[in-house]
Amino acid sequence: MTAFLQIHLNRSELAQQLMYARAADLDSHILLVSEIPARSRNNQRWVTSSDNKCAIVLPRTTHHVFLDDQGVGEGYVWIKSGQFKVFSCYFSPNKTLREFNSQLWNLEEEIRQTDPSTDIIIGGDFNAKSSVWGSARTDKRGQLLSEMMSSFSLITMNFGYTPTYQRANSKSIIDITFERVSQSVQIVDWKVLDTFLASDHKHITFDQQPTTRDADTDAPAQEEFPASTRKWAYRKFDLNALDT
């Protein structure tokens, strides 16, 4: 089993220090980290995006996860380990819709280049709202993001209406997890923890584990996920309106 911790540091060095203790308490193996501090490390156990906004961290206690490959882009970073390709993402709320669209395009191209037999997990703060993952309303970013993920048969693991971000009287669901996995594995125990550690975002945890034989027997057949050849519906948007 591989245990994941999805965490937003809010650029706080204190939150980063507490992250390791939290990961140890939860026995987490892979950390998907958003909005990291400026002085975060970049080494064999800390892979950072090209804009230094997000990272994937392997704690020193993680011994069974090996880096077969890795890559970075603006607002995203990924690692390949065995049959899994794991992404961590951060899309700033200060970006215009056009800039958001450009970042999403780059992420799309990276996903498109992934072998269709590879299992994918994507987690991060997208600052996008959609009823697909429990938001009260869907904004343009949420529409673009949900349509893109759907075009690759990636499904959201978020369920319920528990906010992932909360400050004073403001709360929202903007930290999202997507997955596309084969029948041989399953993503289980996805949940939002009611804890804050020097950040206004709650922690998310989930596990990846082999599918049991009983589960294979009882579960309905699932379709295979072919590589997407579709371009998503954002191309129907008036590009002149994307600056709003």
Range of the domain at 109: 2-241
Query: What per-residue confidence (pLDDT) applies to 226?
Result: 39
* Tens-digit pLDDT profile for residues 70-86: 999 999 999 999 999 99
Residue with the two structure tokens 């590589």? 227
The total number of structural domains in the chain stands at 1
The answer to whether residue 110 scores a pLDDT higher than 90 is yes
Amino acid identity at 15: A
Q: Which of 37-41, 84-88, 137-141 shows the lowest per-residue confidence on average (mean pLDDT)? A: 37-41
Query: What per-residue confidence (pLDDT) applies to 223?
Result: 37
Query: What per-residue confidence (pLDDT) applies to 121?
Result: 98
User: What DSSP string runs through 90-149?
Assistant: E--TTS-HHHHHHHHHHHHHHHHTS-TTSEEEEEEE-----GGGT-SS--HHHHHHHHHH
pLDDT category, 108, cuts 50, 70, 90?
very high
CATH code of 15's domain: 3.60.10.10
User: What's the predicted TM-score (pTM) here?
Assistant: 0.86
**Nearest partner of 123 among 206, 51, 242, judged by Cα:** 206
pLDDT category, 65, cuts 50, 70, 90?
confident
Amino acid identity at 194: D
Query: What per-residue confidence (pLDDT) applies to 47?
Result: 92
